[in-house]
Amino acid sequence: MRQLNVLQQWLFGHRRDQQWPLILGQRRIFIVPSAAGILFAVVLLVMLVGAINYDLSLGHALIFLLAGLGLVAMVHSFHNLFGLRLTPGRADATFVGDLARFPLQLENPRRQQRRALELSFSAQPVVAVDLPAEGSASITLPCLAQRRGRLDPGRITLVTRYPLGLFRAWSYIHPSWSCLVYPKPLRTPLPPASTATVAEYRRGDGGQEDFAGLRARQHSDPTRHIAWKAVARRTDEQALLVKQFAGGASDELWLDWSLTPADRDSEERLSILAGWIMLADEQQACYGLRLPDQQIAPATGSAHRAACLQTLALYQTEETRDAA
Amino acid sequence: MRPSSPQAIDQAAVPWLLAVALATASPHGEHLPPWLSVLFAAALLWRLWLWWQRQPLPPRWLLALLVLAALAGIAWQYRSLLGRDSGVAMLVMFMALKPLEMKTRRDAMVVVMLGFFLLLTHYFYSQSIPTGLWLLASCTLLTAALIRLHGGSQPPAAIIRQAGLLLLQALPFMLILYLLFPRVSGPLWGLPQDAHAGRSGLSNEMAPGSISNLILSGAIAFRSHFASGIPEKSDLYWRGPVLDAYDGLTWRASTPAAGRARMVPVVEARGTPYSYSSIIEAHGQRWLLALDVATSLPAGAVQAPTLEVLAREPLRARSRFVFTSSVDYHANRNETAAALQQALALPPTINPRARALADQWKSRPPARIADAVLSLFRNEDFHYTLRPPLLGADAVDEFLFGTRRGFCEHYASAFVFLLRAAGVPARVVAGYQGGEVNPVDGYLIVRQSDAHAWAEVWLAGEGWVRYDPTAAVAPSRIEQGIVAALPQDEPLPAIVGLDADWLRQLRYRWEAANNAWNQWVLGYNPQRQRDILSRFGMANPDWQGMSAALAVLSGVALLLVTVWTLPRRRRADPAQRAWQRYCKALARRGVTRAAWEGPLAFARRVAVERPQLAALTSDAARCYAALRYGRGDSEQLLVLQECVHRLPARWRNSP
């Protein structure tokens, strides 16, 4: 077993690739007959026996032509990968249960097209791509995010059976890739106003905001806040108007670990916090996050949301524990 | 980019696979029972309709039922499931039904493999040039189907072009393997009964009508190539079976008594011997149709006491033989008593009038008796025709004194009967007479329409002497061939009766091409392989040597194909190359340009880190930026290249 591991290590070299773009050379490309290729060989052997037995000269010619075709197919399968250039991109953060998408740029520097390149992480959906001559393609490789934290999708397996399916040529690519995985947001109502830590911030009943006036729409305003009636009345102006709510953007709200139900396990409590963050962000509330060992001051905007979610994602993972 | 599931077959690939089924199976329609052809067409149309309508495939149980029914039909049709023809029928049946359960790529691969198998089975029936061309076309289609299966959607023309390119690259391997793969002479095991069905040629007995039926075929019996000069047409008697036993209706070859088979015929040849090689089509018999009379035999052949040359085994495949023959000879001057007795035997009582006629001649010397019969044929009202009237029990009597219309078999039969009745040893010889020289390649072509029967008479002191009674009736048959001898309104084999000159020329060319095909492609057997390889300088071609040469040449070919298909990179443009050289040189001095760093940004950084290089790098970067992103001209390229050269040489070259 150990020898097998050593052999695998020697053959496939499970190291992370550092140099980009990565150019596939013959050291990285492996090729073996596929199941169909073995079937093809067996069929050819049986045909050869038949041709010898019945003394079919043209049968010999056919079998030899097909044998040559098999050899040529092997060369073409190899060349379908040889010289391919790959550059990995940065993966956007995602939530547990969603697909993490890892962008990858493939470049074909040669004058022939490459076809049916199948890429996948192990046990993940396969993405097939064709590259035109001297062309390139950008793909995103999906990987199911199952746990919060940093997702390491492992190495990519790049397989091709083109042109005839008789050979399976493959290569492993192992970028230093990771994707931040947030906890799956659990939609529960925002914590009630009475529990807000700073008392002077008045909040509407049951979290409902009070209408406070109109202002010109800015780009980040959600469409459902547009005051369509008011816009319809005022035909002279270009800008859209949005409704402003008291207890909205100007309010501060603490999303506190201690406000989540204590009888749930910590992952679920993180999910509830994530759900609050999403909800508060949608309502453009000014919110802060408080965890047992850290807190983030109240703010608004997508960068703040990302920072909060990242804190939840990495909460008490190895990464943050090592840092502490 | 598309998500891929490797299992399910791409629906758009289905027509390709149906085309594969059609191309590989349809030529078999010629010899399949009609119901199977109908089943095949119906199954294919059904599958096409299902594809068109995007309907689900039929359930498994229905297909299983269909397979069982078709198997029963095939077993009933051929009385067996094990023969060659029933095997082909089964393959066609599977090819018809497999597409109906074609859901995955693996199913599609099975269809393509079945297609390869079906291609091979065509050669049971024909290995002609058109079949060979069909091989190439079908192979292209099968390869294209594989490319479509594994390469996704492309325009059909592009797929066909790729398939053609792959096959073109496979051709050198085919040639090398064809030449060097150590050939084994088959068969490896006993062939089924129907393995050699449908061969035509002389049979080992002669009944009325047997030769005139053969004559209607324009098929080629054999081709001969003479090293120097072809003998006179009237000397071209190609000996087949010698028929010396008569039962009143049919002439047969007598079964030789034990010991007689080992007797060696004694041939005293005179005049110049003719050396020639013959390529004889398979006829399923042992005789080799040598020119009368053979003086040296091909390896492995023997000469029967009755002078015909026999192969060791019946001729199952077209084969090539080398002979020497003499047309002027004495044969078996001292014949055994048993042979002479056989040459006098007649069934009792039949043909009384002929016997009475022969009795009148008994007192004459044997040669005069033979002449008397010939002059009877020549002077009386005898006619040469392919459509003689039917004869009854006393066939010779009816022919000689009644109908007087006949073909070579009638004349030979009557002649030998009369001589035997007059006490002169005589026998019938079947074979071919004449032939036609193809001016394109100089081969003498002998067709089934040249089939002939003549007589041999044993004369004391001279041995067996040939008499051709047909020549007495229709001399033109011997001198010019069958077309000249027959009356105008008689049916003729279409190919022989061609009059138009251009058609004849076309036929000559086509037959010469076929002859070359036969010799170089089809006739490439273990013997020929050894001959050719020793001509190429392999001293003693055995299978080890051939395998070694095969491995080396295949390796070379593989290398060539690899180089041929090697990815051709586009050359970087000169500005980019110069800039890369410049950056590389600086990298050796510890200032590495980052991948994201533009030329001008890099120049600014260099100015900080290596002030002594600031001016040079700034020049280079500005020129490169202009060439790359602006409207740079050749002058700026020169400046850039100059900048590279102004770097110290030891930086530019390896450290």
Torsion of CA B611, B614, B615, B619, to 10 degrees: 170
Q: Which structural domain range is residue A267 located in?
A: 193-209+247-323
Q: Are A204 and A317 in the same domain?
A: yes
Torsion of CA A71, A74, A75, A80, to 10 degrees: 160
Q: Which of B150, B170, B568 has the CB atom closest to A72's CB atom?
A: B170
For the record, the structure tokens of B299 come out as 């390896």
Reported as a single tens digit per residue, the pLDDT across B220-262 is: 889 999 988 888 888 899 999 998 888 888 888 887 654 455 5
- Among A100-109, B524-533, B567-576, the range scoring the smallest mean pLDDT is B567-576
So what's the pLDDT on residue A69? 95
Mean pLDDT of B453-477: 88
The pTM assigned to this predicted structure is 0.71
Residue B287: which pLDDT band, with cuts at 50, 70 and 90? confident
Instruction: Provide the CATH number for the domain around residue A18.
Output: 2.60.40.10
Q: Are A202 and A159 in the same domain?
A: no
- Decide: helix, strand or coil at residue B106: helix
ipTM value, please give it: 0.76
So what's the pLDDT on residue B12? 87
Which one of B109, B110, B134, B532 makes the best mutation probe of the A interface by having the most chain A beta carbons within 10 Å? B109
Domain extents in chain B: 11-153, 574-652
Question: What value, to the nearest 5°, has the Cα angle with vertex B186 and ends B183 and B190?
Answer: 160
So what's the pLDDT on residue B194? 57
Q: Is the sign of the CA dihedral A9, A11, A14, A17 positive or negative?
A: positive
Query: Is A231 a domain residue?
Result: no
CA–centroid distance for B596 within its chain: 66
Q: Are A251 and A177 in the same domain?
A: no
At residue B2, does pLDDT exceed 60? no
Cβ atoms of A154 and A88 closer than 8 Å: no
Residue A203: which pLDDT band, with cuts at 50, 70 and 90? very low
So what's the pLDDT on residue B350? 84
Most confident residue range from B63-67, B306-310, B383-387, B537-541: B63-67
- Cβ <8 Å between B152 and A130: yes
C-alpha to C-alpha distances, B531 to A2, A179, B451, B528, B538, nearest whole angstrom: 55, 70, 32, 5, 10
Residue A219: which pLDDT band, with cuts at 50, 70 and 90? low
Mean pLDDT score across all residues of chain A: 80
Query: What are the residues facing B650 on neighbouring strands?
Result: none
- Decide: helix, strand or coil at residue A266: helix
C-alpha to C-alpha distances, B636 to A48, B619, B633, B649, nearest whole angstrom: 66, 10, 6, 21
Query: Is A281 a domain residue?
Result: yes
Q: Are A146 and A23 in the same domain?
A: yes
So what's the pLDDT on residue A222? 67
Query: Is A236 a domain residue?
Result: no
B134 touches chain A (CB under 8 A): no
Residue B583: which pLDDT band, with cuts at 50, 70 and 90? confident
Mean pLDDT of A210-216: 63
Which residue from B minimizes the CA distance to A73?
A: B166
Q: How far is A146 from chain B (nearest CA, A)?
A: 21
Query: Is A240 a domain residue?
Result: no
Residue B200: which pLDDT band, with cuts at 50, 70 and 90? low
Query: Is A29 a domain residue?
Result: yes
- Decide: helix, strand or coil at residue B459: strand
Query: Is A96 a domain residue?
Result: yes
Residues 296-315 of B with CB under 8 A from A: none
Residues 538-577 of B with CB under 8 A from A: 554, 558, 561-562, 565-570
Residues 65-124 of B with CB under 8 A from A: 84, 105-106, 109, 113, 116-117, 119-120, 123-124
Query: Is A227 a domain residue?
Result: no
Mean pLDDT of A206-225: 61
So what's the pLDDT on residue A200? 40
Cβ atoms of A66 and B139 closer than 8 Å: yes
A109 touches chain B (CB under 8 A): yes
Q: Are A122 and A148 in the same domain?
A: yes
Which residue from A minimizes the CA distance to B117?
A: A47
Tell me the chain A residues in contact with residue B1 when contact means C-beta distances shorter than 8 Å: 127-129, 137-140
Which residues, including other chains, have CB under 8 Å from residue A194's CB and lie 6 or more apart? Answer: none
Could you give the percent of chain B with pLDDT greater than 70? 91
Residue B390 DSSP symbol: P
At residue B22, does pLDDT exceed 90? yes
- Cβ <8 Å between B120 and A62: yes
Number of domains chain A contains: 2
Strand bridging mode B274-280 / B405-406: unpaired
So what's the pLDDT on residue B64? 92
At residue A181, does pLDDT exceed 70? yes
Which residue from A minimizes the CA distance to B152?
A: A116
Name the residue among A193, A208, A280, A299 with its Cα closest to residue A246: A208
Residue given tokens 């060439």 in the structure block: B627
Q: Are A22 and A167 in the same domain?
A: yes
Tell me the chain A residues in contact with residue B185 when contact means C-beta distances shorter than 8 Å: 55
Pick the more confident residue, B224 or B84: B224
Reported as a single tens digit per residue, the pLDDT across A56-86 is: 888 999 999 999 999 999 999 998 999 899 8
So what's the pLDDT on residue A27? 82
Q: Are A128 and A150 in the same domain?
A: yes
Query: Is A205 a domain residue?
Result: yes
Instruction: Work out how many CB contacts closer than 8 A connect A with B.
Output: 195
Mean pLDDT of B194-201: 58
Reported as a single tens digit per residue, the pLDDT across B394-424 is: 888 888 888 888 888 889 999 999 999 998 9
Q: Are A42 and A78 in the same domain?
A: yes
Residues B507 and B494: their CA atoms lie apart, in Å, by 12
Phi, psi of A278 (to 5 degrees): -60, -45
Reported as a single tens digit per residue, the pLDDT across B143-190 is: 999 999 988 888 999 999 999 999 999 999 999 998 888 887 766 666
- Cβ <8 Å between B3 and A68: no
At residue B488, does pLDDT exceed 50? yes
Residue numbers of B annotated as active site: 408, 452, 468
